[in-house]
Amino acid sequence: MFYTIQELVKQANEHFSGSVSDLMIHTEIELTGRSKEEIVALMSRNLTVMKASIIDGLTESKSVSGLTGGDAAKLERYIQSGKTLSDSTILSAARNAIAVNELNAKMGLVCATPTAGSAGCLPAVLGVAIDKLKLTEKEQLDFLFTAGAFGLVIANNASISGAEGGCQAEVGSAAAMSAAALTLAAGGSAFQASQAICFVIKNMLGLICDPVAGLVEVPCVKRNAMGASYALVAADMALAGIESKIPADEVILAMYQVGSSLPTAFRETAEGGLAITPTGKRLAQHIFGTD
């Protein structure tokens, strides 16, 4: 069992030839008593749901509230136009993330990674990794186990809850997990994966959770798209050999401290930020029939 990123990297290198995925499977066996076959089968189910959620989310239909829906399809058309400014890989990840979170808003089936509100980042990045890196099914599962290992440390030492630590704890954690998994999938080391986590979290510190009307739609859907973009850039930085001056475990601790210091209004209460803008309040009144 590992409790810090430093321990995770050390154990992966010393006992599993650098494989964070194998370390995570071993840890799951220890914690749950399940067999390796059972654990892999459960993760295979998650993988199936994630890939399906991207496809199912690429529609024009709106959520019940009417706040979200159709933006993933808009971005797909824009990508196909060939007139994009950004690289198609980054935009495809953004499209995937929007699709998954729009599906979530429409009560579709998603895999909470680590939460429903941040469910778009990981499948979004995995989706483009499958295409770009030609990942086999085993490598796709390794991607998910790797993300889970790093996510476990973040959850145990900081938070993955917007109500507890703001959106930095939800989309920030999801993007960090995605960046770490992508780094290893692309041939990086466990240490480089830890650096990718640093780059993401350091640049999402203080991100508040301010859902308009208290619904996980605005600004959550688009934050997932940006989180997926962060993950790709962070992985590239790590693979380039760039290192964080602040160690990963200290970065995670800083996220916890910042989250604990956020006023209640900025922790999923819909009492601050975008939720209390004139338009935000007007949308809430319209949705709940109080206007």
Q: With both helix axes pointing from N to C terminus, report the angle between 121-133 and 167-185 in degrees, rounded to the nearest 10.
A: 20
pLDDT digits 0-9 by tens, 162-193? 999 999 999 999 999 999 999 999 999 999 99
Instruction: Specify the residue for token string 């080391």.
Output: 189
- Average pLDDT (144-149) is 98
Q: How much of the chain, in percent, has pLDDT values that exceed 90?
A: 99
Read off the pLDDT of residues 4-27 as tens digits, 9 standing for 90 and up: 999 999 999 999 999 999 999 999
Q: Is the pLDDT of residue 290 over 90?
A: no
The pTM of this model reads 0.97
Mean pLDDT of the chain: 97
Q: In degrees, to the nearest 5, what angle opens at C-alpha 186 toward C-alphas 93 and 135? A: 70
Helix (H/G/I), strand (E/B), else coil: 34? coil
Fold of domain 5-287? 2-methylcitrate dehydratase PrpD (1.10.4100)
pLDDT of residue 122: 98
**What percent of the chain shows pLDDT beyond 70?**
99
**Among candidate residues 112, 93, 114, the one with its CA nearest the CA of residue 232:** 93
Q: Per-residue pLDDT averaged across 110-117, rounded?
A: 97
- Domain segments of the chain: what residues? 5-287
Task: Please check the confidence at residue 291 and state whether its pLDDT lies above 60.
Answer: no
- Summarised one tens digit per residue, pLDDT across range 268-280 is 999 999 999 999 9
**For the segment 65-112, what is each residue's pLDDT rounded down to a tens digit?**
999 999 999 999 999 999 999 999 999 999 999 999 999 999 999 999
d(CA 180, CA 197): 6
Q: What is the pLDDT of residue 289?
A: 83
Residue 259 reports pLDDT greater than 80: yes
pLDDT band at 50 (very low <50, low <70, confident <90, very high): very high
Q: What residues form DSSP beta bridges with 209?
A: 267
136 burial level (CB within 10 Å; 0-12, 13-18, 19+): exposed
**Cβ atoms of 198 and 248 closer than 8 Å:** yes
DSSP code string of 222-273: HHHHHHHHHHHHHHHHHHTT---SS-HHHHHHHHHHHHHHS-GGGBSSSSSG
